[in-house]
Structure 1
Amino acid sequence: MAEDLNITTSTNKAEQYQSLIPQIEALLTGESDLIANLANVCAALKEQFKWFWVGFYLVKGDELVLGPFQGLVACTRIGLGRGVCGAAWQQEKTLIVPDVDAFPGHIACSSLSKSEIVLPLFNDGKVVAVLDVDSEAFDQFDETDAVYLQQIIELVNFK
Structure 2
Amino acid sequence: WEWDLDGDDITDSNEQDPTWIYTEVGSYTVSFTVDFGDEQITETKENFIIVEPVAINDQNIQPAENHLYNYPNPFSLKQDSITEIKFSLKQKGFVQINIYNAKGQKIKTLIKKEFEAGFFSTFWNGKNEKGKNVQSGVYFYKLNIDGREVAKKMLILE
| TM, length-normalised to structure 1 | 0.31
Which structure has greater strand proportion? 2
Structure of higher CA gyration radius: 2
Which structure has greater helix proportion? 1
| TM, length-normalised to structure 2 | 0.31
